[in-house]
Copies of this chain bind each other. A is one copy, B any other.
Amino acid sequence: MELQLQIKMNPNLYLRDPDSTGLGRNIIKHSIKLIHDIGFEDFTFKKLAVEVGSTEASIYRYFENKHRLLTYITTWFWTWLEYQLIFHTNNLRHPKEKIDIVIKLLTFEVQDKFIVEHIDKSLLHGIVICEGDKAYLTKNVTEDNKSMLFKPYKDLCHRIAEIFLELNPEFVFPHSLASTLIETAHRQMYFKEHLPRLTDFGKSKAVRPLVGFLQHLVFKSLEN
């Protein structure tokens, strides 16, 4: 059973809603492929236009610049992840189980329950790992934050923080632990692949040891 999904995005993220037209959806689809393949630095609207079979000018009608597009797709990812989290923790009673779901979601170990035909979530996950932080590591953070561009990330973080508090209501760092968990999951996956000496996971494809590390980190931290 899979659910059709359409995520309503903050209009400040785009000039014209890419989800409202075929060209728009194509832009999203091919930008995910292209950024994944050549990296955000080398990614340009010109190259994207070629892939999409359209023109640079048309893409500029949808997004102010490539940085906004990056913010759009990463923000989409956070929203989708929160949906997944809600779905998969729906009938769980014990916060420990919920936390296990959170960790499995962050390491992409959970069956995706939503269909979005034009978005390859596996590629998108790769982008979030490699390029995601660049969405907020800019001189525009404050302004972008005021436009609520990062709200989905904060919402996800807050939801995870609430689960932490279920397990330990006295815990004083629920949000910091949540953002640390999210960032660490991605960063350690990146290190594992590219700079393995910064981890203890070896170079095998298995995410098992990473899951173990994250569980250890979170559950130890939440102990009384």
Kindly state whether residue A200 has any CB partner on chain B within 8 Å. Answer: yes
Please determine whether A195 and B145 come into contact, CB atoms closer than 8 angstroms. Answer: yes
Please determine whether A200 and B173 come into contact, CB atoms closer than 8 angstroms. Answer: yes
The quantity of this chain's copies bound in the complex is 2
A195's contact among B154, B197, B198, by CB below 8 Å, is which?
B154
| Chain A interface extent, by class | 35 or more
Please determine whether B154 and A175 come into contact, CB atoms closer than 8 angstroms. Answer: no
User: Given A42-B139, A139-B39, do A201 and B176 touch, yes or no (CB 8 Å)?
Assistant: yes
Instruction: Tell me the A residues contacting B by CB distance below 8 Å.
Output: 38-39, 41-42, 130-131, 133-134, 136-139, 141-142, 145, 150, 153-154, 157-158, 172-180, 183-184, 187-188, 190-191, 194-195, 197-201, 212-213, 216-217, 220-221, 223
Given A136-B195, A137-B190, A145-B194, 19 new contacts (CB under 8 A): A39-B138, A41-B138, A130-B137, A141-B194, A141-B195, A150-B195, A157-B197, A173-B216, A175-B199, A175-B200, A176-B198, A179-B187, A179-B188, A180-B180, A180-B184, A180-B187, A180-B188, A180-B217, A183-B183
